[in-house]
Structure 1
Amino acid sequence: MKLPPSPKTHPFAQLLQWIATPLDYLEGTQKVYGDCFTARFGKLPPLVMVSNPQGIQQMMTADSKQFDSGRGNQIFRPLVGDNSMLLLDGDRHQRDRQLLTPPFHGERMRTYGNLICDISDKVMSKRMIGEPFFVRAAMQEISLLAILNAVFGVNQGERFEKLKELLTSMLDSVSSPVSSSVLFFNSLQQDFGAWSPWGRFLRQQKQIDQLIYAELEERRSHPDSSRSDILTLLMSARDEQGQPMTDQELRDELLTLLIAGHETTASALTWALYWIHSSPEVHQKLLTEISSLSDPSDPTVLAKLPYLNAVCQETLRIYPVAMLTLPRIVKSPINIMGYEFEPETTIMGCIYLTHQREDIYPEAKLFKPERFLEKQFSPYQYLPFGGSNRRCIGMAFALFEMKLALATVVSRYQLSLTDKHQPKPVRRGVTLSPSSSFKMVLNSQL
């Protein structure tokens, strides 16, 4: 079997570049080797990256039984555990997906609307007028409070505060390009005590587990059928055999939702605030659209605003938080982009490179929300949440939260950039994020 071309650089050098400067690696490799190339990262199996929409369509529309995806996600195991939907395949993956999808759609979404607006207002009101603040830290507080409330149905109390603190600390400990290396090199996952990076990570994770299991025990001891939070729904859910999820399964899925449900949104919100305030025209259009509403406090109406939606879509296009789709490991031979891939080949769609294609997005490096008002893109041209049976189940919630948080912040607070320099896109764990050092100033409360 002949794989697509690969850089001649040593695999460990490729891995180090992928960890330290992922966008340079992707753009440099595509420039030389085209829309379909093979990345070789250290001792990992070769990864075929596809950024041509036709190739992505061939991959996404193939029978899902032709691929395994869960076992290609081992990098997430230390964060979310063995029972996370991210690591499952086949019937178990389908079962958990069916159990986890309903809370993020339909009427249940409405109950989160006012909550997201209130949280956004509360977090921003704590910023001091005239003093620069770290934007990503503020947005992370908003997104973490929102997902914790959606998952547990509470936003106060000692257990809640401790969980919030530990989750933030644990994720920060593996967020920088240097510290995230521990996720890519199993040899670095060594516990040398509480002061070692991995030892500290494991101890924080153990404390998080204790809080989650204490919450599960309390819920079982004092069931309340009137609650509509995600944990209550998951604890009452049954599969086709009438079996509930075990405590270990609940713990792993809850951690998946908590981690994926706030880290990604925080990065997207930070980028959006930069782009909005770096373009007076975009800012004014957004304010005009929001102020034109008869009732701008109605979350469901806010979420339907076309220009606000276009701003969010363009934000997720230009620097998608997930640079790649989840991997797909071939189970039976498949032809993609003229290559015949044999079983055990790992294929990934490159979201970032697809979103940067000049043939689809002219002047791709420029922030132009209007492109989403003028044209509808196919799910193989625009895919910030992945696709097919591995598309992010929290997509609707993430977009809903992003729109409401942005509308709240932009319409109630006058912000400005501390300088004209664009935040640098950097690796944060396995995702792409604006630099955590990016600051803005709160000038006044409107």
Structure 2
Amino acid sequence: MKSSLPPGPRLPGFIQTSLYMSRPLHFLKRWSQQHGDTFTVHMTGSGDFVFITSPEDIRRVFTASIDVIYAGESNSLVRPFVGDSSVVVLDGEAHIRSRRQLLPPFQNERMQTYATIMRDVADASLDRWPVGRPFPLLSKMTEIAMELMLRNIFGLEDPREIATFLERFTSVLDEATSPMRVMASFAGLDLYKLLPFLHVSKLKRQLDDSIYELIARRRAAPRDPTRQDVLTLILESKHEDGQAMTDRELRDALVTLIAAGYETSAIGMTFAVERLLAEPWALAKVHEELDRVLGQETIVAEHLPALEYLDAAIKESLRLRPLVPLISRRTKAPFELSRHTLPAETMLIPALVLTHLREDLYPDPERFDPARFLGTKPDPYAWLPFGGGARRCLGMAFAMYEMRMVLATVLRRASLELASNRPVRMVNRHIMLAPSDGAPVVLKARRPKPQTKNSAAA
């Protein structure tokens, strides 16, 4: 089959770009309805983007040879911040080598190690939430998610050091994702190096210095077998040639894990609570399950497998409000989809957010229905909030575990309601879709923490 680009909207490129940038989900839905599973959008200054939505085509992309489909190049806009050795900007064997070294700390069997910290941080945060007046839930979930990353990934324990890292990370990340910096990255420019006198460039250097100082301190410390944080486990791992990771590789890995993990988890938890508050019948089912499984006990890791409805509600929320709505790949050779053969050097966009709204996969797809995920394992090519294939999010198990533990802790103690009758919309936030106005809620009442003693796992 001769290679060619699928049809798409015929509007001038600058109009397509303006429409997409203003209301991406609205126009992607419209173009998908008009052109089907596969369509091409022309972005002024960036070229043609081929969007795909069918599970079959997504499977072809995710299972393709690493010599045919590249992803690292298409993530180059984050390279100035995450670094040249970050797993998200590597391709081929280099990507496999880096991913293999980072994966062990995120295996499912290690999740229980992080459970108590997750519960305690959520409890402590909830104790500070204001009662009786509106506040953006996203801001509270962001604080929880960032502290959990710093404790479980970096292994930080001193509250002052956590506060310092928290301030530096959030300041740099907010600046790093500004439109000017993103546009510069699209053009292949590293403004941190080109304009070292900028405030954000100084902030990044301070952050990097703090990370290198932490790495040096942990390398010099005696081995502590009780430490199970991700940094400790990575420090103890070796490449296949027996070499340990360099300081630069460690720095890039740590920054990548934080940058990719904290905001996505915060948005995912916020939308899950918002969806439950908007559907009181579903929230009632969650509360019934929490009461049945936990009774008067403090929640511990052993309780989580029994929270099946909460898990299904989180998965259904991630279907309707995926953490990252689109991912990108580039073809290095002609590539066959089910109905088209794309030429080499095509920018290919699995539109996960559209796949999640397909009527043939999810009847009445706009409806929130956790029962879709009860007693069944999600199709890895139809449920894609963490991407898929060899580049599926390293932290998927961590994120799902975190969401279950934090939401079980919060929903058990907090009586919440939405602060307004206005629907919470998905709005652009960097490369993600976040809740409008941070999903304002009101904490009507806060129940005390259960005091029942548990097993040593508590």
Q: TM-score w.r.t. structure 2 length?
A: 0.90
SS in 2 for 1:348: strand
2:451 maps to which residue? none
Please tell me whether residue 218 in structure 1 is matched to residue 207 in structure 2: no
1:205 maps to which residue? 204
1:164 maps to which residue? 166
| Alignment of structure 1 residues 298-377 onto 2, 5 Å | 298-325=300-327, 327-373=328-374, 376-377=377-378
- Partner amino acid for 2:322? P
Please tell me whether residue 128 in structure 1 is matched to residue 130 in structure 2: yes
Q: Report the CA distance between 1:113 and its aligned residue.
A: 0.6
2:442 maps to which residue? 441
Q: Give the Cα–Cα distance (whole angstroms) in 2 for the partners of residues 103 and 212 of structure 1.
A: 19
2:429 maps to which residue? 428
Q: Report the CA distance between 1:109 and its aligned residue.
A: 1.1
SS in 2 for 1:46: strand
Q: Are the equivalent residues in 2 in contact too, given 1:64–1:389 (CA < 8 A)?
A: no
Q: Which moved more, 1:269-278 or 1:58-67?
A: 58-67
| Alignment of structure 1 residues 135-154 onto 2, 5 Å | 135-154=137-156
The count of corresponding residues between Structure 1 and Structure 2 is 441
Q: Are the equivalent residues in 2 in contact too, given 1:303–1:403 (CA < 8 A)?
A: no
1:229 maps to which residue? 229
Q: Give the Cα–Cα distance (whole angstroms) in 1 for the partners of residues 86 and 190 of structure 2.
A: 20
- Partner amino acid for 1:310? A
| Alignment of structure 1 residues 8-19 onto 2, 5 Å | 8-19=10-21
After superposition, give the CA deviation of every residue in 1:63-101 in whole Å (9 maximum; x if it has no partner): 333222111211221331111100011121111111111
Q: Are the equivalent residues in 2 in contact too, given 1:278–1:420 (CA < 8 A)?
A: no
Q: Give the Cα–Cα distance (whole angstroms) in 1 for the partners of residues 370 and 324 of structure 2.
A: 20
2:252 maps to which residue? 252
1:83 maps to which residue? 85
1:290 maps to which residue? 290
Q: Report the CA distance between 1:297 and its aligned residue.
A: 1.2
SS in 1 for 2:415: strand
| Alignment of structure 1 residues 269-284 onto 2, 5 Å | 269-284=269-284
Q: Report the CA distance between 1:125 and its aligned residue.
A: 0.8
Compared with structure 1, are the counterparts of its residues 180 and 315 closer, same or farther at alpha carbon in structure 2 (3 Å cutoff)? Answer: farther
1:115 maps to which residue? 117
Q: Give the Cα–Cα distance (whole angstroms) in 1 for the partners of residues 339 and 130 of structure 2.
A: 58
- Partner amino acid for 1:167? F
Of residues 34, 37, 41, the one that matches 1:35 is 37
1:64 maps to which residue? 66
Q: Give the Cα–Cα distance (whole angstroms) in 1 for the partners of residues 24 and 232 of structure 2.
A: 39
Q: Give the Cα–Cα distance (whole angstroms) in 1 for the partners of residues 69 and 188 of structure 2.
A: 28
Q: Percent identity?
A: 35
Q: Give the Cα–Cα distance (whole angstroms) in 2 for the partners of residues 91 and 304 of structure 1.
A: 40
Q: TM-score w.r.t. structure 1 length?
A: 0.93
Q: Give the Cα–Cα distance (whole angstroms) in 2 for the partners of residues 55 and 235 of structure 1.
A: 39
- Partner amino acid for 1:151? I
Q: Are the equivalent residues in 2 in contact too, given 1:324–1:348 (CA < 8 A)?
A: yes
Compared with structure 1, are the counterparts of its residues 15 and 317 closer, same or farther at alpha carbon in structure 2 (3 Å cutoff)? Answer: same
Q: Report the CA distance between 1:391 and its aligned residue.
A: 0.5
- Partner amino acid for 2:203? Q
- Partner amino acid for 1:214? E
| Alignment of structure 1 residues 373-388 onto 2, 5 Å | 373=374, 376-388=377-389
Q: Give the Cα–Cα distance (whole angstroms) in 1 for the partners of residues 102 and 257 of structure 2.
A: 9
Q: Which moved more, 1:185-194 or 1:150-159?
A: 185-194
Q: Give the Cα–Cα distance (whole angstroms) in 1 for the partners of residues 303 and 166 of structure 2.
A: 30
Q: Give the Cα–Cα distance (whole angstroms) in 1 for the partners of residues 181 and 371 of structure 2.
A: 36
Q: Are the equivalent residues in 1 in contact too, given 2:108–2:397 (CA < 8 A)?
A: no
Q: Report the CA distance between 1:188 and its aligned residue.
A: 8.8
Q: Give the Cα–Cα distance (whole angstroms) in 2 for the partners of residues 69 and 128 of structure 1.
A: 43
SS in 1 for 2:336: strand
Q: Give the Cα–Cα distance (whole angstroms) in 2 for the partners of residues 306 and 296 of structure 1.
A: 18
After superposition, give the CA deviation of every residue in 1:193-236 in whole Å (9 maximum; x if it has no partner): 799xxx33322222211110111121122243322211111122
SS in 1 for 2:386: coil
Q: Are the equivalent residues in 2 in contact too, given 1:19–1:181 (CA < 8 A)?
A: no
Q: Report the CA distance between 1:296 and its aligned residue.
A: 5.5
Q: 5+ residue gaps in structure 2?
A: 448-458
Q: Which moved more, 1:133-142 or 1:226-235?
A: 226-235
Q: Give the Cα–Cα distance (whole angstroms) in 2 for the partners of residues 380 and 96 of structure 1.
A: 24
Q: Are the equivalent residues in 2 in contact too, given 1:335–1:341 (CA < 8 A)?
A: yes
Q: Report the CA distance between 1:310 and its aligned residue.
A: 0.6
Q: Report the CA distance between 1:143 and its aligned residue.
A: 0.6
1:266 maps to which residue? 266
| Alignment of structure 1 residues 384-399 onto 2, 5 Å | 384-399=385-400
SS in 2 for 1:87: coil
Q: 5+ residue gaps in structure 1?
A: none
Q: Are the equivalent residues in 2 in contact too, given 1:145–1:155 (CA < 8 A)?
A: no
Compared with structure 1, are the counterparts of its residues 193 and 92 closer, same or farther at alpha carbon in structure 2 (3 Å cutoff)? Answer: closer
SS in 1 for 2:50: strand
Compared with structure 1, are the counterparts of its residues 224 and 14 closer, same or farther at alpha carbon in structure 2 (3 Å cutoff)? Answer: farther
- Partner amino acid for 2:283? H
RMSD over aligned Cα, in angstroms? 2.2
Query: Post-superposition, which runs of at least 4 consecutive aligned residues in structure 1 deviate over 6 A?
Result: 191-195
SS in 1 for 2:219: helix
Compared with structure 1, are the counterparts of its residues 157 and 214 closer, same or farther at alpha carbon in structure 2 (3 Å cutoff)? Answer: farther
Compared with structure 1, are the counterparts of its residues 214 and 257 closer, same or farther at alpha carbon in structure 2 (3 Å cutoff)? Answer: same
Q: Give the Cα–Cα distance (whole angstroms) in 1 for the partners of residues 78 and 41 of structure 2.
A: 19
SS in 2 for 1:43: coil
